[in-house]
Chains A and B, each alone.
Chain A
Amino acid sequence: MDSDAAQKELVSDYLERLRAAGSSLPSTRREELVAEVREHIEDATRAEREAGNTGAAGVRNVLERLGPPEDIAREALEQEPAANVHQPPPPQNTNLRDISTVLLLMFGGLLLGIGWVVGVALLWSSPRWQTRDKWLATLVWPFGYAGVFILGGAMAFVSTSASVCSSSPAVRAGAPVHETCTESGFSLPGWFGFLIFLVIVIAPVLVAVRLLRTPTTPAGN
């Protein structure tokens, strides 16, 4: 029947609008609401028919009394506890904890090393980052910039102990000082040291940027 199909379409359009307007409700709650409204429409249409309003006109009366589906969905969202309502997270929702984590990882090593340990603990207990990023941040930052100092100090120590300097006896005579240093072991070209320095200094910054740009909701969700 043509009229029957028209009625069905009116109802299914209405329920579809309700479903769309309630898209941020938890899915079980939304489907429950849709089922309740559908049941109401069936009961009310039957009552309309008994009152003589047959066909699409009866259905239209019923839908009009129900009100716009958007109103029903809005009411449902207002009645739902805020925790259950799915809200798209703001793109940059970095909180104090995340910033502390990154700062501790970078500079916490300077606080007797303890700060870095706290930073690692915060990093691994955070739901925000994936395991891959956690490993990256831990390994790129062994003790953060304190690690750079330790490494730099160790290198300076190695190069000092490795070089033997001898002053010429001419010093006593007031002649210009000739100091001869012979370096034993290996020595790295200057540009290479500079490259290492850049990597060590810049890599933590890059990882910091990566961590803080990670969306707050885990990507796997």
Chain B
Amino acid sequence: MEPGDARNVLTQLRRGTIEYCVLAVLAEGEEYAFELVRRLSAVDGLVTSEGTIYPLLSRLRRDDMVTTTWQESDAGPPRKYYRLTPTGRRALSGFTEEWTRFRDAVDELLVGGREPSKGAQGGDRGQ
């Protein structure tokens, strides 16, 4: 297997999970776009191009996962704040459950699977 494959898997994982990461940040409270993007970028390896968050936010709003409100800001023009809707909250808790189960299962194989492979080469592990 080429190293490119693992990178591709990570790209797909990132694409699939980023919207729930957006919902998770918003679960802590409403946020305006720039701050939201900044918080997601702070997570290592999660966001490769910050700009791609904007189309995602637009889709989440269309899917009624988030709502937006314009609020005055102390510096500059009014800002668009994003807030989680009940639908978004439900989607987030559903995904969190699934993700935890999935992550644990993969971890068990990846991390747990490393143990027996130590002796697998000789094939004469006497236990």
Contact = CB atoms under 8 A, between A and B. Distances in A.
Interface of A: 29, 32-33, 36-37, 39-40, 42-44, 46-47, 65-69, 71-72, 75-76, 78-81
A65 B41 contact: yes
A156 B108 CA distance: 92
Interface of B: 33-34, 37-38, 41, 48-52, 54-59, 62, 75-77, 79-80
A75 B76 contact: no
Given A40-B33, A40-B34, A44-B34, A72 B51 contact: yes
Contact of A75 (B55, B75, B77): B55
The majority secondary structure among interface residues of chain A is helix
A33 B54 contact: yes
B82 to A, nearest CB: 11
A32 to B, nearest CB: 7
Contacts of B57: 36
A77 to B, nearest CB: 8
A40 B51 CA distance: 9
B49 A71 contact: yes
A40 B54 contact: yes
Contacts of A80: 55, 59
23 contacts: A29-B58, A36-B33, A37-B51, A37-B54, A39-B33, A39-B34, A40-B50, A40-B51, A44-B34, A47-B38, A66-B49, A67-B51, A68-B49, A69-B51, A71-B51, A72-B49, A72-B52, A72-B54, A72-B55, A76-B54, A76-B55, A79-B58, A80-B55
